[in-house]
Structure formats: C-alpha cells, structure tokens
Structure 1
C-alpha cells in the first residue's frame, strides 16, 4: 500500500495570507500596495509541494509516471479554470461584444497555459490599465506554474539509480535558478516591466526556490521534535520575516527597480524560510497558520485567485468613489468567497475525489462522463452571470447619477474669485511640457492656448524616463526665460530623489519648474500627489498645479476610465494650465475666456 504524503495544515494558512495580499492589491487598498508579492509566495509554496511529491514518488515507486503526474495537474487546475473562462467570456460578449476577438484569444492562451507569453506579445501592461483592462490577465502566473509542471518531471526521467537522478536534478535546478534571477535583471526596462515580470524564464526562480527547499528540508525532516529554546528562536525569526514581508506590502510597489535586480529573489528566499518555520509542528507560527479560518481560506485559495480579478475588473467603474466604492468592494469580496466556495465544492472537489486510486486512463474516462457536475456547472454559470450583470448595472447607474449631479452643480455654480499671488511675474518665451497620455490628449488645446508651448507626451510614460528625455532634447535649451512643466504619475509613482534630480537639472541654468499632479484612482495616486505637495512646500520657486482637486468633483469631464479627460475635459485641463502659468509668468497667451480655477502652490 502506498504511503500518502502527510497533509500540512499550516501551508493552507500561508496560502490564505498570499491570496489576501493579492486580493487587497487588486482592490487598490492603499495598505496593500505591495500585495503582488502574494504571487511570489504562491510560487514558492507550489514548488515546494510539487517537488516533495515527486521526490516521495521516485523513492517509493520503481517507475515514475510523467503521464500520471501531468494528468493530475491538469485535473487539479483546469476544471475550475474552464468554468471561469466560460463565465467571463459570456459576460464580456454580452456587455462588450466588440471585444470578442480579444477575450477569445485570451481564453485560448489560458487553456494552453501560455497566458504570460501571450500578454508579452500583446504588450498588455502588468500594472493596472484604464480602458477595458484584460479580465484574464491574472492567468499569467498560472501559465508560469503550468510550464514549470510540464518541465520539472523531465529532470527525473532516464537516470538511475534514484540518488544519482536526484543529484543531477538538484544541480540543474540550481543552474536554472541562477539563470532565471539574472535574466530578470537583464530583461528589466525602466518604464516597461512587462517582459521581466511576465516571462517564465524571469519568474521561474520562485518555483525553483521552493523545489530546492524540498530537497534540503523535506517535510519529514522538518517534523523532527525541537528543543524549547530552538522552537522559540524559530518563532522569533519567523515573526521577524513575516513583519518584513508585511512591511514591504504596506510600503513597497511594483515600480521599484531593485525588485528586478534581486529584490523578488530575496522576497522568494524569505518566503521559503518563513514556510519552513511555519510548517514545523513545534512552532507557535505553525499553530497560528493552522487556525480553522485561515485553513478554510487557504483550501479555497486557487478558486479565490481565479475569480477575484475578473470580478474586480469587470464590476468596478473607474469613476466610482466614496461610499459607493466601499459598498461595491464589500459586495465584491463576498461574491469572491461565494464563487470560490461553489467552485471548490462543486467543481474542484468532485474532480479530485472521484478519481483517486485509479489509473490516469480510467480517470480520463470518468471525467468525460461526469454529466451531473456539468449540469451543476451550467447552473452556477447562469447564476453568476445574472448576479454580475445586475450588480454592475446597479453600481454603474449609481455612479452615473452621482456624476450627473456633480456636473450640474458645477455648471450652475458661480465662478470663484481667486486671489492673485503677490509676486512679480517672470518674463517667459518658451514652455516645455513633458507628460503621459493625460497631457497628450490635451496637446492641441494647450498649444493653441499657449503659443509658446511645446508638448512632448507619450502613452505609458513614467518618471524614470524623464532624465534621458531632458538630456537628449531639452537641457541645452534651458535659460531664465524657460518654463518646464512635468505631468507624470498616471502610470506609477516615483521617488523624492528623482524629483530632486529633476529640480537640479531644470534650475541649474535658471529655468523654472512647474508640476502638475495626477488624478488616477489607483494605489499610487496618494503617494504621487503627497510627494509633489511636500516638495513644492519646501521649494518656493516650484509651482504646483492641482489637477486632482480641480477635477475630483467634475468627473463628467473624464472618460469612462476615470483618468483621461473627455474632449471638453481636455479643454478644461488646457485652460487650467494656462491660468496657473499666467499667475506666475509673463508671456503672451490667447485671450480666450478662461475658466476660473483653484489651485495650490
């Protein structure tokens, strides 16, 4: 009789932590800015468990069956995924039928386990997109795992005896890990992290760290009884590592260049050490992560991962704010857990239990014949679609109503009188404006209202690209009659050091710096705007134009993505920029009627 691997309850608790971090990150909750590292934790856990299973298998069974291994992985991953793909596809075809080609191609990539490469080819950004984001983008990580599961067992075939087989596999795993970690750094490109983030070659090191941990510290070895002092030391170390990871979750973000030059490798190593300390039965951490609530969430973590992202993407109007956003978020979390429970109970568990102890050929036949579960899946799909469509429609109506009220209020309100700053205006003959897609849309209006301006804007541009742009195209033109306006932050945050370097570059030849803050309902909005406000408060010669506060109660002037101005909004932005510049600088501008606005310096 075959010995089954001991079930590790505390690993479910770690899975629960990982999925909570990922959900919090995608819900755009500010304290989960670095929650994406939950995926790295999943990679380590998966690599550890799968390699443990393979090592136990080749020890107990004379011949390791790759076909059986692959079929078990397919049976574990695909049924719940197929249900998800059906629901998401039908929903998208009902709500936005013009996107049928995009969603079908994403479906095919998901089924084939190549979503990560597909999104690299399509140039789908990992960071949140604004207009029609891909609801299946999260399948990139499952694709990396699927490719890992395809390749890993090949290392254990064709070499005898078993010890030699294990040693050869260990050496190869170490070599691939080193290659992967180096590849991430080589592929990293400031302002475009997609290739480094999505690639199997650049991300597989997390799974390999889990695999090597299974070699060095298999579960049976970790189960040995510990002296009391050693157990206490393990708890102290484990708690410190946990606090370190959670600190990154609160203060980190995916735009830090250090992440791609060893940072994610360190996070994976820390996760592996924490995992070893948590699964040891003699630690208090083991008892903490074995609590019933965490175990319940952890056992459903796969279904939660599948469902959470499409629910957020498809059901969240970008213009939603205030109480409506809180209410919608609360409902989305409930829906995630309801669907995860239904998927776990009626899809995952039946496929897993009904085929234990029989050959993979018999399992395949039983899988095809399971008409009862197919009927249940069909019912679940129908219920899910109705609920999602109803909820999305309701919240869209609420948002539209609140936007209309705000629009009418602003239309009918009297113009406010702005007190002019008590400063002597500076003569100016040229204005260079550098920005992203928000500024790009308003370029014609800006250049018409301010003839001395030159707008250099690009979709997806980030602050890290700015030094090269200035050095190549503008620095040699700077003088005391030059204004440099920077409008960046829509696509990600930046550091105070980068802002200080910009200030030094602009002002060393006497040019004048103007900063336009951002309105982007994503995790980094507050970070960007607070940094700009703090910087201008300590640099009295820098002007801040407050686009955020100005547009916050005029959402009707934004597109459906809640970020980019409409045609009327672009004119509004151009007029705001002109008015604020003419407060501080003396140059000839178009005399069209201006919309009086309020800003901060």
Structure 2
C-alpha cells in the first residue's frame, strides 16, 4: 500500500512510561490503602488506554515498514506476557503451599483461566454466588485486567485488517468511522447494562463493558499517526491548562470514586476514559512539554517495570493477609519493598531471557561493597526462586480440585434460608408496638432513654432485620429467638444496597421501633453511607448494628472502627460485638472464616438476644424510675 512517510513512527514514544508509572502507583495504593484511595483502580483504565494506543501505533509502524504479520504479533505478546505470568503464578503457589496450603483449593481451574486468558469471565462466574466472592479471595484476583488485554490482543489483528480493508477499498473516513462506531457502542454499553439491572461484578470485570477504553486508545492512536492528520501540524492552544485539569480530575477520582457507587458505572468509568485519552494524546505530542516531564528517571524506571509490579503486588498482599502479617504496623511499606525487589529481579530475568543484548542487571541492584557477598546473595536469591518454582508446580498438582467441602454445605444453607425468608409472612401487618408496654402504666415512647445504651425505645417485638449473607446463614436461629421479626437478608448485599433497602422500608412504614443491621461484610462502611442511613431512620428508631468478622477481609478493622465511631455520633445506635465473640472460635464458622455454621448461627442469635436484653433491662429500670417519680 502506498503511504506518505510517517515522521512520527519511531520505535519508542517518549513520555508513556511516565503514564504507566502513574497508573501502577494508583493501582498499588488502591490495593494497599483501599479506604483512602477509593478510586485507585482507575489506573487499570489508564493501562487499557495506553495498550489500545500503542497497539495502533505498533501496527501502523509494522504496516508502514511492510512487517505486519499476525503470527509475529501474537508471538511478541506471548513472549512479553506469559513468562512473567507463569513465574509469578508458580512462585506464589509454591510459597502458599509451604505457608498456607488451605488457600490453594480450586487453584487449578483458576490458573487455567489465567493462562487461557479468560480469568475475568471465570471471576464473574465465581462471583455469581456471593459466598464464593468472600471465600474465594485469591492471590490472582487482579489478573482479570490482563485477561481483558489478552482478549483484545486476540481480536486486534482482525479489527486492524478490517480497518485497512476499508481504508484501501473505501476511504480513510470510512475506516475511522468503523472504529468510531465500535467505540461509541462500547461506551454506551456499560451504562445501558447498569440500567438493565446488571450486577456490579460483570460491569467491572466484563470485556464487553471495559473494552471502550482499549477501543478509544486505538482510535486516538490512529489520530496520532494518520498521514492526513499530520499534513498540517495540529494546534494545541490550551493544552497546558487542559492537561493540568485532566490530571487533577484523575487525582480526585482516584481518591473519591468508590467502585460501589452507581455513578461509577453510569458516567464515572466512561468519563475517566475520555480524560485518559486526552492525557495520553497530549503526553505523546512532542511539541508539548509533558513528554519531557513524563520522562523523569523515577517515572521511567517505574513505568518500565509496571507489568512486573502489577503481577507481584496482589500475591504479596494476599500472603500478608493470609498469614496475619497485615496486623504489623506499617506493613504496607514492607509489602512495597518486597514488590520492588521481586519486580526488579523478574524484569531483569525476562529481559535477559528474550534479548541476548540485554545485560542481566539484578546483581547491580543488590551489589554490595564486598563483591563475594554480592555474588552469594544473588545465587541464594536464584536458588530460592527455583525452589519455589518447583514447589509451586508440585503444589498446583496437589491442590484440591474444589474449595473445601463445607462450602457446598454453606451454599445449600444460604439457598435454603433464602427460601425460608421468601416464604415467611411480611411483618408489616403485625401487631402494633402498643403491645410492648411493660408492667408499668407509663407510655414507653414518652420516656427519656438517653442515660441507657440506646436513646430510642427498644423492643424485641416486630423487629426488622436487614443483612447480607452472614445474617442469611443465621436465619433459622434468628427465627427461633425472634419468631415475629421481619428478616430481610440476601446474598451479595453491599453497604449501599443495604442502606437503600432500609430507606425503602422506612418509607413504606415497615420499621416502627427497632432495627437490626447485619451488613458490612461486602465492602467498606463509609461515613457518608452511614449518615444517609441515619438520616432515613431518624432518632426515634433504635438501631442494633452487628459488626463484622473476616480475617481475609481487608476492611474488617476499618468497618468495626467506623461502627464504634458512629455510636458516639448517634445515641440510638448500639453495636453488637460479633467480631470479638467469634474470634478464637473457628469451629463456629465455615472454612471461609466469615459465615457462621449451625453452632455459630446459634451463638450469633444468642448474642443479639443478650445485647437486646441488656438494653431493654436498662430502659425498664429508667421506666420504673420515671413511674415512681410520677
């Protein structure tokens, strides 16, 4: 094909390594500080944008130099992706096999999904049942994004050849219109699926809902290298303020854009993709100053190793959580140090493996004044890696095909309990709280209970309970203790979903005096969501919030601290301390260390009953005192 000379098609675009560095920093901070960097996951969208952009750039360059080949394209990606992925996978499994073998259940199928490039769809299938989302926490949860990129690599040669065909047979406008149409459809698909009622899990993990960033990256890549565009140099009059505003928007979104908010899927992710497109395009433009700034040595160093940093971070974090090392003060700094060392080694090793001209530089990173000691350290590191690789292969071979057997029992229990709730009668028509009058003749609602553990009137009759799968696992025991309670518990209930349910029940008049809350297992309890709940409930409803327990849940401590903080802000809140009660009693829980078994469910209900009795006794004493004064 005849094309005019491409002055921009150099082997490397300066500045993009800096963007990779920013993306990997955002993702790492999100994994280590999920409560503070709520939107750090947006770094993945920036990675997608860069991948799409560079895919186009590389393809146009190969095409221009008559070196375009689908076989070469796939081989290059395989050599770049799979050696590091396989090494990280086997080393991780080897370490876990030695330190935490129970965590390897079902690992073979997960590894197959990683190698096969469909891990995101595998995770969607696993998360279709909520208990697997909790019990199925994995050291490879983050590989979903790599799977989406692999799938895009698979279809890209087809898309590119269609683009070339249209450009040759029709026109440049027709070829760009084809890609633009695909991109617009992809952008619209995520909010459409959200309004169709699709769960957040497939929205976040699905190739169909996340491919918009890759397609837009490819589209701006064509804009960057297309001959007709560069006949006349584009003007960037307001590039600097636009670039700064886009970066500020990214920082703010990385801090505040919670992945549980509906805005994220209606406009947040698509909107940020557009912002990332602007950032990538302006960074790549040589006539602007951003390219030089993004080539700063620290950014370039991190960006060059971003893939290895991404692969290692979640396995290391998972090991710390699994072993309880996340209780060590400042453990995040230790994790960062370990990730950096492992990433430097892996990057050096794979670069040396596939490029004979590339020196093996790991020894320089660990070089000491005494060269003999340095060599010994290097050899020990290599031997350890080889040992873990061998153990990893053995561990993968011996890993149970399925998760621990009692998870099947847990699923059956959750399904059965959900049916019990569906079949139970609605409590909205039950007797009025007037029947809860005590032996005293005083109206219980007219008494000041501020001196007790809960400032609002408490009664066991006609209570409403709203919870997630932990409460659902305890339904039968709760019904034994509180036969006239209205229990509304379901799998996959997040904190925002729970708050929405409470607001709806308040609006319908179903909550009259005492509300028991049992959600918080599936995400962070934010101050904003808690205040939204108490605004709906008001001061006259007594709230009993059962705190959460889960050794592998990174938000356990944060949520329980938040509940204690809320008791100081809302006098009508009492915390039921299930976390302290169940700690040290593993035999009360299923193998996921989150959901109560039969013994645990009985104690769960009993603890709630004891807490209610204590507060009711305090309030009865206040009523007796008030009656005596009258």
Cα displacement (A) at 1:134 = 2.0
Q: Which runs of 5+ in 1 are unaligned?
A: 356-374, 389-417, 590-601
Match of 1:597 in 2: none
Aligned length: 530
Counterpart Cα distance in 2 of 1:191 and 1:557: 37
Cα pair 2:49 2:273 within 8 Å, conserved: yes
Q: Tell me if structure 2 keeps the 8 A contact 1:12–1:298.
A: yes
**Are the counterparts in 1 of residues 95 and 388 from structure 2 also a CA contact under 8 Å?**
no
In structure 2, do the counterparts of structure 1 residues 89 and 543 end up closer, same or farther at CA, with 3 Å as the change threshold? Answer: closer
Report whether the alignment pairs 1:543 with 2:573. yes
Q: How does 1:129-528 map to 2 (within 5 A)?
A: 130-157=134-161, 159=165, 162=168, 164=170, 167-188=173-194, 192-218=199-225, 233-317=238-322, 320=325, 322=327, 324-327=328-331, 329-352=332-355, 379=383, 381-382=385-386, 420-421=452-453, 425=457, 429-443=461-475, 446-466=478-498, 478=510, 480=512, 482-493=513-524, 513-518=543-548
2:75 paired with 1:71: yes
Go from structure 1 to structure 2 and tell me whether the alpha carbon gap of 1:81 and 1:500 turns closer, same or farther (over 3 Å shift).
closer
Task: Judge which range, 186-195 or 8-17, deviates more.
Answer: 186-195
Higher alpha-carbon deviation: 195-204 or 499-508: 499-508
Q: Which residue of 1 aligns with 2:429?
A: none
Q: Is the 8 A contact 2:140 2:314 kept in 1?
A: yes
Distance in 2 between the 1:125 and 1:239 partners?
43
Task: Encode CA deviations 1:452-488: one digit per residue, 9 max, x unaligned.
Answer: 54543333312444478669999767374x4222222
Q: In 2, Cα distance between the equivalents of 1:449 and 1:300?
A: 57
Instruction: Choose 130-139 or 571-580, whichever is displaced more.
Output: 571-580
Q: Which moved more, 1:570-579 or 1:168-177?
A: 570-579
Does residue 581 in structure 1 map to residue 616 in structure 2?
no
Please name the residue that 2:440 is paired with.
none
Shift of 1:86: 2.2
1:7 partner SS:
coil
Choose from 76, 82, 88 the match for 1:84: 88
How far apart are the structure 2 equivalents of 1:163 and 1:555?
70
Q: Deviation at 1:247?
A: 1.0
Specify the alignment match of 1:107 in structure 2: 111
Alignment TM-score, normalising by the size of structure 1: 0.74
Between 183-192 and 101-110, report the one with greater CA deviation. Answer: 183-192
Q: Cα distance, 1:489 vs. partner?
A: 2.4
Other-structure match for 1:359: none
* Cα offsets for 1:403-451 (capped at 9, x unmatched): xxxxxxxxxxxxxxx9735968555521121111333455455445545
Cα distance in 1, alignment partners of residues 234 and 50 from structure 2: 23
Once the two structures are superposed, the pairs formed by residues 123-134 of structure 1 within 5 Å of their partners are 123=127, 130-134=134-138
Offset, 1:301 = 0.5
Q: Are the counterparts in 2 of residues 428 and 483 from structure 1 also a CA contact under 8 Å?
A: yes
Q: Which secondary structure state, in structure 2, belongs to the residue aligned with residue 120 of structure 1?
A: helix
- In 1, the alpha carbon distance for the partners of 2:103 and 2:592 equals 16
Return closer, same or farther for 1:490/1:576 CA change in 2, 3 Å cut-off.
same
Q: Does 1:556 align with 2:584?
A: yes
- TM, length-normalised to structure 2: 0.71
Q: How far apart, in 1, do the equivalents of 2:142 and 2:21 lie?
A: 17
CA RMSD of aligned residues (A): 4.6
Cα offset, 1:30, TM superposition: 3.2
Q: Decide whether the 8 Å contact of 1:319 with 1:561 is kept in 2.
A: no
